[in-house]
């Protein structure tokens, strides 16, 4: 049996590597201190949390209204350095993801945003369209039809850079993961074949079965 079968990973990063969200190590070097029921703890700065929370929620398609509520609460309770946030988002290719979160917070919960930020969001047609689709889901009956392929495509649409979209779609389509190891246990020396197994398994499980 392959050593990969039954393997469970501890998450040490904000996102899997194939998501191309390069939060630098510097995020850990300027933590804020806060008091939690008398106990001092470290937390990320508000500026960093804006991108951490918006990217995390987008990864999960803002599936719950609490994502929007938590994000809006962050914006309302802290003085955000918008120049720094926008510059960091631009550097990491997260501006569309940021715009989606800000549009939802502003549109649904009346988050107060600088005029310049609102203007930037208005110019990002894809972000607005995606945010409106998310909003509609909050007020409609779930149809249960959306699957993993749709979630993959949602994240790809949320990235504004072609290189990030291409890398992501290639790796989610071919890079093996735990489900592939469990579905087809193989000896370690056959590991390269998992790069063939994965697209075949995805096609059968999420493509072919859906049409049968």
Break the chain down into helix, strand, coil percent, rounded to 5: 65, 5, 30
Closest CA to 18 of 160, 198, 190, 174: 174
Question: For residues 109 and 4, which has the higher predicted lDDT (pLDDT)?
Answer: 109
**∠ CA 56-96-121 to the nearest 5 degrees?**
120
Question: For residues 7 and 26, which has the higher predicted lDDT (pLDDT)?
Answer: 26
pLDDT > 70 in the chain, percent: 86
What is the Cα–Cα distance from 91 to 95, expressed in whole angstroms? 9
Closest CA to 91 of 22, 27, 44: 22
**pLDDT of the residue at 3:** 57
Q: What's the pTM value of the predicted model, to 2 decimals?
A: 0.82
The answer, yes or no, to whether residue 134 has pLDDT greater than 60, is: yes
Region of poorest pLDDT, from 85-94, 116-125, 202-211:
202-211
**pLDDT of the residue at 37:** 85
Q: How many helices (H) and strands (E) does the chain have?
A: 11, 2
What is the Cα–Cα distance from 212 to 197, expressed in whole angstroms? 21
């Amino acid at each position: 049996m392959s050593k990969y079968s039954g393997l469970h990973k501890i998450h040490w990063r904000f996102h899997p590597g194939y998501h191309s969200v390069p939060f630098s190590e510097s995020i850990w070097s300027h933590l804020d201190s806060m008091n939690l029921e008398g106990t001092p703890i470290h937390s990320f700065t508000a500026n960093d949390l804006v991108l951490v929370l918006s990217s995390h929620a987008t990864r999960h398609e803002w599936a719950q209204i609490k994502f929007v509520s938590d994000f809006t609460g962050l914006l309302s309770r802290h003085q955000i350095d918008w120049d720094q946030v926008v510059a960091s988002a631009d550097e990491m290719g997260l501006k569309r993801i940021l715009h989606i979160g800000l549009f939802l917070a502003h549109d649904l919960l009346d988050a107060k945003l600088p005029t310049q930020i609102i203007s930037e969001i208005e110019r990002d047609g894809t972000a607005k369209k995606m945010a409106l689709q998310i909003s509609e889901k909050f007020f409609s009956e779930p149809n249960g039809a959306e699957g993993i392929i749709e979630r993959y495509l949602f994240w790809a649409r949320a990235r504004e850079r072609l290189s990030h979209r291409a890398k992501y779609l290639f790796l989610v389509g071919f890079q093996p993961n735990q489900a592939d190891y469990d579905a087809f246990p193989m000896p370690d020396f056959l590991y390269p074949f998992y790069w063939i197994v994965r697209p075949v398994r995805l096609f059968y499980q999420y493509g072919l079965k859906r049409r049968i």
